[in-house]
Amino acid sequence: MRRLRTLSEAECYVRCYGGWDPTVTVTKVEPRPPRYELRVSGEDLRREFEARIEARTEELMADLDAAEAAAEAA
């Protein structure tokens, strides 16, 4: 089944429980602010990690090429 729009929390509750109880209320909770400022963001960490992996891969490929050249020469 393909949905045309996203259901709200209230609509989902009615659909799951078959009705609406007057004691049930739907509240929207705002996200909490961060406790402290971080020096590095998660995106910065991801980029740095990818750069390290890429550098390591290039280094390993260079070592492999050197080893293959040495094996051919012998």
Output the DSSP codes for 34-61: PSS--SS-HHHHHHHHHHHHHHHHHHHH
Give the per-residue pLDDT at 1: 66
pTM of the full predicted structure? 0.40
Token digits of residue 20: 């609406």
Classify residue 20: in a domain, yes or no: no
Classify residue 14: in a domain, yes or no: no
As for how many domains the chain has, the answer is 1
Q: Which residue range is the domain that position 64 belongs to?
A: 41-74
Classify residue 64: in a domain, yes or no: yes
- Residues (pLDDT < 70) of the chain are 1, 3, 20
Is residue 55 within 8 A of residue 47, CB to CB? The reply is no
Give the per-residue pLDDT at 25: 78
Classify residue 49: in a domain, yes or no: yes
Classify residue 34: in a domain, yes or no: no
The DSSP call for residue 25 is -
